[in-house]
Amino acid sequence: MSRVRYNGQAARGSEITVKERGESRTALTGFAEIHRQQTATVILDPLPYAVVTMNGSGRVVDWNLAAENLFGWSYADAFGEELADLIIPGELREAHRVGLARYLDTGETSAVNSLLTLPALRADGNRFIAELYISMLESHGGPLFTGLLREITKTGEVRSEVDSVHQAESRLNRLKVVARNIRVGLLGYEKSFEPESGIFGIVHVDDVARAQEAFVEISETDRLANPIDLRMRASDGTWRVIETVAENVTNQPAESGLVLINRDVTEQRARESDLRQTSSRLSALVMSLDDGVFFVDQEEKIAVANEAFLSILDYQGDMNELIGKPTSGLRSLIDELVVDPKLFNVTIADRVADRIQVFGERVDFVDGRVMERDYIPVELENELHGHLWLYRDISSQITLEKTRKHLLEAERRLREKAEEQARMLREVADLKTELVAMVSHELRTPLTSIVSFANLLIGDDGPVTEVEQQEFIGVIDRNAKRLIRLVDDLLLLGQLESGVTTIQPITCRVADIVEWALALADQRAVAAGVRIKSSVERGPTLYADQGRIGQVLDNLLSNAVKFSESGGSVDLTVRRNPTGWVFAVRDDGIGIPESEQSRLFESFFRGAATAQSTPGTGLGLAIAKAIVDLHGGTITVESQESVGSCFEFAIPDQALS
C-alpha cells in the first residue's frame, strides 16, 4: 500500500491507495501534486490559517493541517471532494456554484482578492463564522483558487456574522418561496412540480445568465438595482415574460426588509413592442413628408423637426442636435429669413396662447418664397402636450385654396407617375423591338453567309477550285468573326452595366494606345477610300485601362470611317487639358440629325438614316460611354448633317489611383 507523497514528504491523515480511489482520483492526485509543487504548500502547514485550494471544477486539490483542525476533515477525506459539500452550508451552495460558473464563463468575480466573512460548516455539522481571503492562480490545467481561512472568535464579531448568516438564509428561503409562487401562481404549474435544474430550468436559455446574476445580486445585496424581465416557460408550453422587482424597505442593517414583486407582463411588453414599432413607423413617415413638420413640447423645447422643415430654414447643422433644445435657438435664423420678424414672433406667441387650430397662415420670406403655415395644439384629456407646426412652400400657388392645392398636387403626381410609367413601357417595347430586329438582322445575315458558303464547299454541284475554297473560307471566317464580335459586345455591355466587369488601370503611354487603334483602323480606312490623320501632343503618361481606352478609340475611328464617303478624311487628335487627356475623332461624313444626338449612347439605338443601309448593332457607343464612365471621364458629340461629326472623350489624370 503506497502513500501519496509531496516533495518527498508523506501526506497527512489516513492512508489512501490509487487503486481504491480509481483512475479519476489518480488524475486529481497528479493535478494536486503539480499544484502543491507550484505553491510550495510544504511551508504552509505551520501557519495558523487553514489553507484550502480548489480547481475550476470546485473540487479540493490541497488541504493543509490547519484546515484539518478547523473543519474536522482529514486531507485524505477532503481531497477530490466538492468543496461546497464539505464546508459551505446547504443554503449557500447553489450561490457558490453559480458564482464559480459565472467566473469560468465571463472571468468576472468580486470574491477574489477580497476579505470576506462567511458562515462555514464543520464535519460534525456545527456552524461557525470564518474570515476568508481568496487568491487565484492560472495553471496549465485551469484556474486554481486558494483560500486562507480563520475562525472569528470574538463574541461581537460572531454575533454580527451570525446575524448576517440569518439574513442571508432568510433571503434565500424567500427566493425559494418566490420561485415556487412564480411557477404556481403565474405559470400554472402544480405545487409539487420541481424543475430538474431548479427555477433556471424553465427560464429561456438566452435569459439564464441574467437570471443567475439577479439571483446572486439579491442574495448578496438584499435588492435588485433595476427591475428585470425574464422569459419563462409556462405549464402550457408558452413563453411568458415575468418582471421581478426586489427592494429593501428598511434602512436597519440588522433587519432584512427584502420585498419581492413578480408579475406577468407578457401582454404589456407585447403592447409596448407594438407601440415602439408604430412610433418608429410614424417617425419615418413624418421624416419623409414633403411638408415641414416642427413639433414643440409644452416646455417650448424642440421634439421633432423633419428634413423638409430644416430645408425651408436652410439649416445646415445636424438635425439631432436640435432635439431637446429651446426653440429660442432658431429665432435668430428665422429672423433673418422672414420679411417681418416681429409679426412672425407675435403670431407664434398668439397661437400658443390661444391654443386654437389655425390653417393656411401666410409667411413671406426675404428671398421671395411664400410659406403656408398650419398650427395644431396637441392635447390629450384637456392636457397640453405640445404644439405642432406644418410649413409648406406655396410660392407658385399662393392664390389657390389649401384643400384644392393638395388635391391638384396629388393628381399631378399621380399623372406624372402614370406618364413616366407609360413612357418607360414604350421605351421597353421599342427596345425589345429594336433588339429583335437587330438580332434577326445581325445574326441571320452572317449565319446565312456561313451556311451558304459551307454548302458550296461540301455540296455535290461540282468540284471547287482551291482559289474558290480560299474565297469561301474567307467569307465564312469574316462572318464567324462578325458573330463573335456581336456576342462579345452583348456580353461586355451587360457586364459593364451590371458592374461585373471591372477595369484594370495601369500607367501607359498615350502614343501606344493611339498607335494600336490606328493599326486596326488603317486597314478599314484603305478599303473604304478614307484617309486618317493623327496628331498627339507630348505629355505625361495616362493611368487607365489601356485595352479598354484603345477599344473606345477603335470604336470611334471605325464609326468615322464607316459613315464617311470614299475620298473623305478622318482626323484623330489627342491633347492635354488642365485635368487630363482629351481624345477627339472628327470626320466629314454624313453627320447625325440633332433630334437623334441625345440617344446616341443608348443601347441598340441606331440612326434612322443608317439603320437599314449600314451594318451595326447599336452597341459600340453604349460600350464606349460605359468604359469612359468607369474611368471617371466624359464623352460628348457635336454633329451637323452633311457636314460631319466630332466625338470627344476626356480621361482625367489619376482618376482611378
Neighbours of 88 (CB within 10 A): 20
CATH class of segment(s) 502-652:
alpha beta
* pLDDT reported for residue 272: 84
Q: Bridge partners of 132?
A: 116, 149
The pLDDT assigned to 106 comes to: 84
CATH code given to domain 5-153: 3.30.450.20
Q: How many CB atoms lie within 10 A of CB 405?
A: 17
- Rounded to whole angstroms, the Cα distance separating 390 from 305 reads 10
Q: State the pLDDT at residue 80.
A: 93
Q: Which of 601, 629, 605, 599 is nearest to 617 (CA)?
A: 605
CATH code for the part of the protein at 163-271: 3.30.450.20
Asked if the domains 406-487 and 502-652 are classified in one and the same CATH topology, the answer is: no
Q: Which pLDDT score, from 0 to 100, does residue 440 have? A: 59
Long-range CB contacts (< 8 A, 24+ apart) of 54-58?
A: 54/83, 54/144, 54/145, 55/31, 55/141, 55/142, 55/143, 55/144, 55/145, 56/100, 56/104, 56/142, 56/143, 56/144, 57/82, 58/82, 58/83, 58/84, 58/96, 58/97, 58/100
Summarize pLDDT for 251-310 with one digit per residue, the tens.
444 444 567 788 898 999 888 888 778 767 777 777 777 888 888 888 888 888 888 888
**Cell numbers placing 555:** 470604336
Q: Flag residues of the chain having pLDDT under 70.
A: 1-47, 153-178, 196-198, 219, 222, 248-258, 279, 398-403, 427-445, 460-462, 481-482, 485-486, 488-501, 606-617, 655-657
> What pLDDT score was predicted for residue 309?
86
Quote the pLDDT of residue 69: 92
pLDDT of residue 79: 94
Give the start-to-end residue ranges of the domains of the chain.
5-153, 163-271, 290-399, 406-487, 502-652
> Does the 290-399 domain belong in CATH 3.40.50.1100?
no
- C-alpha grid cell, residue 349: 406667441
Closest CA relative to residue 505, chosen from 637, 611, 651, 607 = 651
Which residue in 114, 127, 34 sits closest to 87, CA to CA? 127
Q: In this structure, which topology does domain 406-487 adopt according to CATH?
A: Helix Hairpins (1.10.287)
Model pLDDT, residue 16 = 37
Q: Which of 604, 600, 595, 596 is nearest to 434 (CA)?
A: 604
Could you tell me which residues are beta bridge partners of residue 305? 294
CA-to-CA distance for 657 and 651, rounded, in angstroms? 13
